[in-house]
Chain A
């Protein structure tokens, strides 16, 4: 496997080889799917839209609908205004969504289409909305695009009806799976707090098979809910890369206090999430959550010898990797390589701080890295476990490292979008996956006489 990869370090300063990120529009499309009755629209050549739909469909194994401005060379020369206006007309006539969420592409960005003006002068049916975000692919990553679309939801839709706020909170869940969003809702319901979560892809990208296809499934935050987010007291913004910007805009626009948090992956980040709700609303923590937390601690103590002290390499989207690294440290593991493809020095600073607090030195931490570089590091000094997206499977096979799939995208395994990694339940799932991967390897590699029933 991958015999062409040089065994020793080579100069690699330019471009990406085996990237660990993709482009902004994909994230914008995913976020838009978390609005109820929304048709995402890709303002560019139809290839972009085709690729994004394909990629999201492969991860979620559920329908992903989106339309395109279908640029040809003419539109690229003369501008895409006519294409977008025609698109808006046709989309509402044929597909009748509540809202169209337009994102740009590197094509429409490079030619400089003025989206706010095009939308302003477009023919939008009464009661319907069109929002937009600029998502040039030559800046940031899919996480940047996700964040941008969340911001667009706030700046286009959220409204404050006055100084008096409702006793409700907003949650910006970040670029997580519908199963994670369901789990966040379950936790918040247990805490007894009213919540508006946006985007919310639960019941959009994890829908049941009923034989009655709905182009717009029941899930997603409604336009009315997102509008009402301006009347909430507080916003919990989960993940600094995906969610903090939208919370800031909401604070500036509507005076809703934004509280930046990590994604609630791992015991400490889940504690922080629950404490933030408790501190703001003064709610009692139900015994059910205390029990769930206790189960995680119990499991960590009971199984520590499966993973404690193991060297682990982690890659993925920044908010996921930050929270997971914190949990790996809580598991007593040693994150030796921590990498994200998304640019951002804040990522490196945050990881380094955690490692330092844990007394771990010598780890390599990198934002805007790629998987070629990660593989070169692993060749230099091996690890016991690799955690990351499906793209990691090539490294895992080539370097013969146990592998746990985590984050986006996972293209070669199913069911994961429905199974949360957030919250205390998510902790148990992660412990199980990590533990199993290491134990499978032990069972595979050990001598017959060392093969044991009980581990």
Chain B
């Protein structure tokens, strides 16, 4: 404990005073003796000049939430860069299905208005409108998203008016997202903007409930490396009807019908909790925070889901699948775990992932000694009970909040959604943490560190001093960490592997971690002529 405190203290030394004061508030060391999580500062501005991992609102809106919707065309309104960088780089897989044929999948394409200087001076609305017309004529998408980049808001292009006029011309929905990169303090602002628009304009406009029992949505699952597909495999086998995975491999048609499900599952709390909460308000749909990363956590999530529906057959089938899947992977996993037991990791990634991977690492006998998020809020660290106490500031105030009320026709109480009596539902609430997320802190162990919006300097110091066996982060850190002689894996792009979710995912992850730690080349770093050992034989000199 004292050791880590002094490490953190030393890490802050080179900072100018203001930076030091600021960064101190973003660090927490877990103290098991303390009653609750100390307040951690999060979702506040990154200090200019600090090499942060954070991206922008556009990245959160287009890149994370709306980009993966496969049958919509997403037009980035702006100069060329933003759309280009978010093209094909997040590995959200998509494929044809019963309602979406191959020629209605547009996610491998990149559409940009490519604003030029005259557009900045005279406005880009006409260009945007014309591009929409051409795209509709050429591709016939089911809907269009328009994502704004920085200059759009500054020059005052009214993308909402362009969208409305285009809707009237073409008879399809055209959604405008004011997700300019300067909004908020990170990607997180963009998640919220995307959630608002989907909630306000799309969810609830469909009328087709999927045929089948136990209809669920999986929110905040983006099908990176096929995670969503692995989860659908498990869920369908247990007997669930998967209404929509939001937004990995999702279709516009499914999102329209999102409200016609009995239960919302929330995988990535940070990016999608707004929709979960708003649907609870408007439709009464209960939500359950799940974690499908890790074997025990997947099984626990499945059991909690089964409890939510309270049907004997479902509970039974859940146990059958858990039993079979865990037995199937156990022998291989055991081999991997032998090699990984006792190893340590850092994870500084996203806004929910570090928590998810704590469980999977523990399944493999590893510990995450330092955990951080790029763009989390306090509730992701401390739990949702702190939400009412979070003070809004100038940066959070400019993200609109939707103030929804219960829908007159479609609101049903949670127990009605779950087809159980009020009494039984009250019992359920005691057993299962519905509509709640506890954050990462409770699951951490004494002396482990939380770090919010970690920057390059801090990562470098912590690796040198705490020397983890494995660093889990994004591609920007990956090669820095390699140069320091430490193995590193990308937890955004999975180093182009996956799935990592569910039971098969756990196996893939374990294999990839073993592979990351064991390349023979780690032993080749020092050339033989630089070793200090005794010479192997007499020289011929």
Q: Which residues of A contact B (CB under 8 A)?
A: 1-6, 10-19, 21-23, 25-26, 41, 44-48, 50-55, 57-58, 61-76, 82-84, 86-91, 93-95, 105-107, 109-111, 136-139, 141, 207, 209-215, 341, 372, 394
Contacts and interface: CB of A to CB of B under 8 A. Distances in A.
B120 A210 contact: no
Q: Which 5 A-B pairs have the closest CB atoms?
A: A47-B56, A23-B81, A211-B485, A87-B49, A90-B49
Given A93-B15, A95-B456, 18 more contacts: A3-B103, A12-B134, A14-B113, A15-B113, A18-B109, A22-B80, A23-B84, A52-B85, A58-B475, A67-B49, A67-B50, A72-B184, A73-B183, A94-B16, A107-B182, A138-B119, A139-B117, A209-B482
B57 A47 contact: yes
Contacts of A214: 483
A316 to B, nearest CB: 14
B48 A16 contact: no
Contacts of A26: 81
Contact of A14 (B19, B57, B84, B127): B127
B497 to A, nearest CB: 14
A45 B182 contact: yes
Contacts, number: 263
A47 B59 contact: yes
Contact of B138 (A12, A82, A88): A12
A27 B79 CA distance: 15
Contact of A105 (B54, B113, B150): B150
Contacts of A94: 14-16, 19, 49-50, 457
Given A6-B138, A48-B181, A19 B19 contact: no
Contacts of A62: 479
B324 interface: no
B110 A19 contact: yes
Contact of B59 (A4, A50, A73, A74): A50
Interface string B43-54: 001111111111
Nearest to B139: A4
B11 to A, nearest CB: 11
Interface string B133-172: 0110111000000000111011100000000000000000
A210 B113 contact: no
12 contacts: A3-B101, A6-B139, A13-B130, A18-B110, A19-B114, A21-B84, A25-B81, A47-B55, A52-B85, A54-B475, A70-B45, A73-B395
Contacts of A2: 108-109
Interface string B486-519: 0000000000000000000000000000000000
Contacts of A18: 87, 109-110
Contact of A88 (B49, B184, B476): B49
A322 B119 CA distance: 30
Given A6-B138, A15-B127, A73-B183, A51 B85 contact: yes
Contacts of A90: 16, 19, 47-50
B111 interface: yes
B115 interface: yes
Given A23-B81, A51-B82, A110 B154 contact: yes
A213 B484 contact: yes
Contacts of A4: 102-106, 109, 139
B1 interface: no
B150 A107 contact: yes
B311 interface: no
Given A4-B105, A46-B52, A90-B47, A63 B479 contact: yes
A71 B151 CA distance: 13
A65 B149 CA distance: 24
A93 B115 contact: no
Contacts of A68: 46, 48-49, 51-52
B480 interface: yes
A16 B394 contact: no
A136 B394 CA distance: 27
A214 B138 CA distance: 51
Contacts of B138: 6, 10-12
Contacts of B181: 44-45, 47-48, 71, 107
B5 interface: no
A89 B16 contact: yes
A110 B110 contact: no
Contacts of B137: 10-11
A64 B82 CA distance: 19
A111 B154 contact: yes
B89 interface: yes
A175 B82 CA distance: 21
A67 B54 CA distance: 11
Given A10-B137, A14-B130, A86 B52 contact: no
A13 B114 CA distance: 12
Interface string B166-201: 000000000000000111111100000000000000
Contacts of A46: 46, 52, 54-56, 186
A16 B484 CA distance: 41
A54 B475 CA distance: 7
A3 B51 contact: no
Contacts of A93: 14-16, 19
Residue among B109, B130, B478 with max Cβ neighbours from chain A (10 Å)? B109
Interface string B1-36: 000000000000011100100000000000000000
A112 B106 CA distance: 36
A51 B59 contact: yes
A161 to B, nearest CB: 34
A360 B12 CA distance: 65
B182 A54 contact: no
Residue among B78, B106, B456 with max Cβ neighbours from chain A (10 Å)? B456
Contacts of A21: 80, 84
B131 interface: yes
A54 B82 contact: no
Contacts of B110: 16-19
B485 A106 contact: no
A316 B51 CA distance: 31
Contacts of A137: 78-81
Contact of A138 (B105, B117, B134): B117
Given A4-B103, A209-B525, A17 B82 contact: no
B55 A106 contact: no
A47 B457 contact: no
B56 A72 contact: no
A358 B59 CA distance: 46
Given A11-B137, A23-B84, A71-B182, A44 B19 contact: no
B357 interface: no
A65 B51 contact: yes
B182 to A, nearest CB: 4
A110 B50 contact: no
B83 interface: yes
A110 B117 contact: no
B48 A19 contact: no
Contact of A73 (B81, B139, B182, B475): B182
A207 B394 CA distance: 43
Contacts of B85: 22, 51-52, 54-55
Interface string B68-102: 00000001001111111111010000000000011
B309 interface: no
Nearest to A55: B85
Contacts of B116: 138-139
B460 interface: yes
Given A4-B139, A12-B138, A67-B50, A48 B485 contact: no
Contacts of B484: 211-213
Residue among A2, A55, A75, A213 with max Cβ neighbours from chain B (10 Å)? A213
Given A51-B81, A53-B476, A372-B109, A91 B49 contact: yes
B275 interface: no
